[in-house]
Structure 1
Amino acid sequence: MKPLKTYIGTALLLTIGASSCNNDLTEKIYSEVTEDTYNYSNAYQAMSIAYANMRNLISHTHWYMAQESTADGIVMPANASGWDDGGIYKRMHLHTWNSENPQINSMWNTFYSGVINANRVIDQLQNDKITVPAGITREALISEMRTVRAFFYWMLCDNFGDVPLITTRSEGLPGKTGRKEIYQFVVKELTESIPALSEERNTLMYGRFNKWAAKTLLANVYLNASVYAGETRWEECLAQCNEVIASGKYRLETSLSAPFVTENQNSAEIVFAIPFEENLAGGFSAHMFSWHAALKAKVNMLATPWGAGSAKGIPQFIDTYDADDQRLKATWMTGPQFAADGITPLKGSYDQAGKDVVLTNALPDGLYTGEAEGYRMNKFEVKVQAQGSLGNDFPVFRYAQVLMMKAECLLRTGKANDAAMVVSQVRARAFAEPAKATVTGADLQEGSTYHYGYVENYKVVDPGNTAAVQYGRMLDELGWEFAWEGFRRRDMIRFGVYTTKSWLSHKPNGDFRAVFPIPQIAINSNPELKQNPDYN
């Protein structure tokens, strides 16, 4: 059993029970104990509900694929097995989503559920409704919940821009607060909370914000300050990264796969993770929406992946990898596929019915593909007899990202050679030859190797915007290291290519697409909310 999962599972059951309904609105009083009179004897169980909200994020109809499938690395096209679903996936690729796309509504609801739950726990802690364990201060627990709330507001700021700022348990209907002010609130909350957070990296703090995870969160906020607030904070980001590095609590794993195996909770590289457990805390199902159903036999799965799968690599991105980069095979499933015996070829069921499943790096476009076209997810281990939910914890932040944030800050402040040393450190485990792992400051100042352009029938027919990407090689490095980890949309926006370049079936569709629209259902229920610009 992984840490916090008992608490998370209990909290989830409590949430499900509270949300059930039989349409009988007659009030039934079963107990005189109310929220105001009940005291939690287990602080961690009380706090876990705010963390439990994070598990919802890692889904194909939620934050996870909204970050990846709207970017230039992964696409979710339809195929003969289905996967059109009313166009909800292709709209993300085409940047034609609207305020009723389920991914957008899911993000909004989960982010604010996290905020509301954190506000409630903060209030309960401040009013002595939660018993504080011996050896821990109430201030530390309040600071931890303020950090969790800041995490959700970072997500809101990043994905929606101007949003309501709610810091109490008030039931009012607030209007929107400007994106810059939300950014400033997050920075203030983290800056004030970090000193009281635990410095321990142990079982008790796993899946929770300790000081170093909070500093990594703050570094991420500073890294994107130019997007959120129109101001650069490279030095501030660098300072937070250096403190995490100096703590000595984390290190790069020698194995590329170590942070992504099923039992990855002991990885020295993971700074902050969302814990999953296949039975008690499920929801992480990347294999189910990426793998072809025939791949069930590859590891004798107990569940069957959905149809021919959908989420797959965009060939233009795959083509940027160095052939000797071991991250290519560690991240992407490629080529002929076999059963668990390693001998029996797996067979197709649709346009390749009866033929061997051979995953190819070729897509005619981003809208409809053959059942075996496109490389699939191989980053997260799918264990033998895996179920529909994986037990791998999802690494939101890992030490490699701390190093790469440091490198980017150095690069952007004129210290390209120093940046190259850090990037080379991250690359070292991906190349058998040390010389291949080494990059120079001049390399990082080059443009991207990505051949952007609009694709029809497997070929680029319109290159679109061909302007060089400033520090494009650094953007490439981020892509190779963090594919399938939910970084790509944010990185592309920061590097100025998310709304300006073409890839696969995507063409630029307006700079306003750098944020998502407020869900229509939220606007309908709150007259104080106004839609984001240009979405009307």
Structure 2
Amino acid sequence: MKNILKHKVIYILGTVLVLTGCTNDLNIDIEDPNVLLVENFYSTPESYKQGLAGVYGNLTLTGATGPGSSNISGLDAGTSQYGRGFWNMQELTTDEVKWSWENDPGLKGLNNNTWTSDNVIIRGFFGRCMTQVAFANEYLRQTTDAKLDSRGVSTELRSEIKTYRAEARFLRALAYYHLMDLFGKAGFVTENDPVGAYQSPQYDRKQLFAFVESELNAILPDLKDARQNEYARADKAAAWMVLAKIYLNAEVFIGEKKYDECLTNCKNIIDAGYTLSPVYANNFNADNNSNSAKNEIIFPIVSDGVVTQNYGPTTVLINAQVGSLEKNAADFSVPGWAGGLRVTKQFSETMLNGNYDNDDRNTIISKDRTIEMLDMNNYGTGYITAKWSNKTSTGLNEFVREMVDTDFPMFRLADVYLMYGEAVLRGASGGSLTTARDYFNLLRARANNTNMIVTADLNLDLILNERMVELYGEAHRRQDLIRFGKFTGGVYNWSWKGNVVSGIGINDKYKLFPIPKASIAANPNLIQNTGY
């Protein structure tokens, strides 16, 4: 069980929130027979925490009746899961990894950078983000002072609810951050809008940036201090992390440099007492919620093979790591989906170029394989990796099952160390290259890599490479390549970029995903991104 998400009410509550707070552009279906009236639901002190669990649950769960259900009509559970959609769009579109089974709807377009506004994965993630907004909005409507007065809620409980409300607002800001990054715009709706106001006004990137920034700063006083909340619940450090991210990418998002602000938030996190797990692999094991990784992970998407079963990112990553030739499912304590994921030639060359030969982060398996995927349908070509596992940090097969117990670390300290260095290199004041070098070397030392650097070695290209090695498969790569000017155009090509084996330049329109056709049909205020 994973703390806040252990509440059995989560499936029913998700349905309640959809019923009372969703928007038509999400195409939500309500088919659960156990729908509760909201006022009846909020009749006990415990219900307010359970209600918050429902908002968190949208990151992990897809529907009201188990892992195979989806409350976004017309999409299967895997297509519409928050973490998996996010991972697909941030990773498959880059030089890190490709999905072998291109017959799965939407995946070939992401693999080859040829997606359209009909892509079901893009539709699923846009809808899931807007579902998150709807869930948070409804929770906030149900926890206003007027509502609490009418229910006679005690002063002591109100103090807790104040924190719960801040967390719900964080989850909404997180969804709008992802929409800003991936789509550049979204329909904007808050708890102050009437239920059913689904034709909401469009907010562009500047407006979303301003909202996320102001919202996170507004809730900081009400969030628990860093590392003082229950595991997997947002605290001040989670808010600082999103702020650091929007400031690091501000030149892309709004055409302004905000590296000083990025550095300030990175330092806030570093000073909060997080520490690197002594063992890199612990961050990606089944017990990463309780082993030494708990001191490094800032905010995860939880996964539990029993309580929060889902076809989310870690279930996919671990089962799909199993090779078609190797059939090494037992190595990861899963049944395995032989041949699902392979890495690109460019990723493999980075890992094998001499700097990372004896690095713990280099988990490439190359025996009997070619480095290049000349034919995407030949699952025996292209190297595979072994970063993720459903085993515990002590190597135990706690459970062998398809639905894994490994949480997905959306944010962790190692990323903060690298953001600190990048911000300093890009001109942030208040930091130092010497400190940036030390953080960089801490990551290599943790990975038992003896190739330490001196201050003069530190540059942006090195940071980008190290981000690939350290954060591979953690849904950062697309954003990184765009920020470094290497995603579109032909300055840097990789396998299957532009649907060519050796890679070709792609149009700048691909820096943003299209708004799904279904969403535009439901909300005419949304204007399609240029080029789609």
Tell me the TM-score range normalised by the shorter chain: 0.7 to 0.9
Question: Which piece of structure 1 moves more, 85-94 or 57-66?
Answer: 57-66
What is the aligned counterpart of 1:264 among 254, 279, 288? 288
Corresponding residue of 2:461: 472
Residue type at the aligned position of 2:124: S
Shift in Å, 1:289 = 3.0
Shift in Å, 1:480 = 0.7
Which SS does the other structure have where 1:312 is aligned? strand
| Aligned residues of 1:331 and 1:483 also touching (Cα < 8 A) | no
What is the aligned counterpart of 1:67 among 87, 90, 98? 90
**2-structure distance, mates of 1:186, 1:19:** 23
1:508 aligned onto 2:499: no
**Structure of greater Rg:** 1
Shift in Å, 1:333 = 4.4
Residue type at the aligned position of 1:408: E
State the Cα deviation string for residues 18-73 of structure 1 (Å, max 9, x = none). 989xxxx9x99999x73256425322210112111112676796111211010111
| Aligned residues of 1:91 and 1:97 also touching (Cα < 8 A) | yes
Which SS does the other structure have where 2:473 is aligned? coil
Corresponding residue of 1:313: 343
Corresponding residue of 1:533: 530
Corresponding residue of 1:276: 303
Corresponding residue of 1:39: 42
Shift in Å, 1:297 = 5.5
State the Cα deviation string for residues 451-474 of structure 1 (Å, max 9, x = none). xxxxxxxxxxxxxxxxxxxx2221
| Aligned residues of 2:82 and 2:129 also touching (Cα < 8 A) | no
For residues 375 and 17 of structure 1, do their structure 2 counterparts lie closer, same or farther at Cα, with a shift above 3 Å needed? Answer: farther
Residue type at the aligned position of 1:271: I
Q: How does 1:285-434 map to 2 (within 5 A)?
A: 285=315, 286-292=317-323, 298-299=329-330, 304-306=335-337, 308-321=338-351, 322-323=353-354, 325=356, 330=361, 332-336=363-367, 358=368, 360=369, 362-365=371-374, 368-383=376-391, 384=397, 385-413=399-427, 415-433=432-450
What fraction of aligned residue pairs are identical, expressed as a percent?
A: 26
RMSD: 3.0
Residue type at the aligned position of 2:231: Y
1:482 aligned onto 2:471: yes
For residues 124 and 251 of structure 1, do their structure 2 counterparts lie closer, same or farther at Cα, with a shift above 3 Å needed? Answer: same
Shift in Å, 1:381 = 1.5
| Aligned residues of 2:346 and 2:494 also touching (Cα < 8 A) | yes
Shift in Å, 1:419 = 2.5
**1-structure distance, mates of 2:475, 2:33:** 45
Corresponding residue of 1:101: 119
Residue type at the aligned position of 1:527: P
Corresponding residue of 1:346: none
For residues 315 and 58 of structure 1, do their structure 2 counterparts lie closer, same or farther at Cα, with a shift above 3 Å needed? Answer: farther
For residues 235 and 505 of structure 1, do their structure 2 counterparts lie closer, same or farther at Cα, with a shift above 3 Å needed? Answer: same
**1-structure distance, mates of 2:297, 2:412:** 4
| Aligned residues of 1:325 and 1:430 also touching (Cα < 8 A) | no
Which SS does the other structure have where 1:490 is aligned? helix
**1-structure distance, mates of 2:90, 2:120:** 14
Residue type at the aligned position of 1:442: A
Q: How does 1:52-131 map to 2 (within 5 A)?
A: 52-55=57-60, 62-77=85-100, 83-85=101-103, 88-126=106-144, 127-129=146-148
| Aligned residues of 2:509 and 2:530 also touching (Cα < 8 A) | yes
For residues 316 and 136 of structure 1, do their structure 2 counterparts lie closer, same or farther at Cα, with a shift above 3 Å needed? Answer: same
**2-structure distance, mates of 1:389, 1:223:** 35
**2-structure distance, mates of 1:245, 1:84:** 41
Gaps of 5+ in 2: 20-28, 62-79, 392-396, 498-503
Residue type at the aligned position of 1:370: N
In the superposition, the TM-score normalised over structure 1's length comes to 0.80
State the Cα deviation string for residues 315-361 of structure 1 (Å, max 9, x = none). 2121112546378664534145xxxxxxxxxxxxxxxxxxxxx4x35
**2-structure distance, mates of 1:426, 1:294:** 32
What is the aligned counterpart of 1:195 among 198, 217, 221? 221
Residue type at the aligned position of 2:383: Y
Residue type at the aligned position of 2:372: L
**2-structure distance, mates of 1:255, 1:294:** 28
For residues 319 and 59 of structure 1, do their structure 2 counterparts lie closer, same or farther at Cα, with a shift above 3 Å needed? Answer: farther
State the Cα deviation string for residues 411-447 of structure 1 (Å, max 9, x = none). 11175444222212222112353xx1x22343232xx
**2-structure distance, mates of 1:254, 1:428:** 10
Shift in Å, 1:377 = 3.8
Residue type at the aligned position of 2:218: E
**2-structure distance, mates of 1:19, 1:236:** 36
| Aligned residues of 2:418 and 2:440 also touching (Cα < 8 A) | yes
Residue type at the aligned position of 1:190: L
Q: How does 1:185-264 map to 2 (within 5 A)?
A: 185-199=211-225, 201-202=227-228, 205-248=230-273, 250-264=274-288
Gaps of 5+ in 1: 78-82, 337-357, 446-470
Q: How many residues align?
A: 469
**1-structure distance, mates of 2:513, 2:408:** 24
**2-structure distance, mates of 1:381, 1:326:** 21
1:518 aligned onto 2:512: no
Which SS does the other structure have where 1:55 is aligned? coil
State the Cα deviation string for residues 80-116 of structure 1 (Å, max 9, x = none). xxx1216732321221100111210111111011111
| Aligned residues of 1:66 and 1:92 also touching (Cα < 8 A) | yes
What is the aligned counterpart of 2:169 among 130, 146, 151? 146
Which SS does the other structure have where 1:177 is aligned? strand
**2-structure distance, mates of 1:296, 1:280:** 28
| Aligned residues of 2:188 and 2:200 also touching (Cα < 8 A) | yes
Which SS does the other structure have where 2:59 is aligned? helix
Residue type at the aligned position of 2:111: H
For residues 444 and 432 of structure 1, do their structure 2 counterparts lie closer, same or farther at Cα, with a shift above 3 Å needed? Answer: closer
Corresponding residue of 1:178: 204
In the superposition, the TM-score normalised over structure 2's length comes to 0.81
For residues 176 and 268 of structure 1, do their structure 2 counterparts lie closer, same or farther at Cα, with a shift above 3 Å needed? Answer: same
**1-structure distance, mates of 2:522, 2:529:** 16
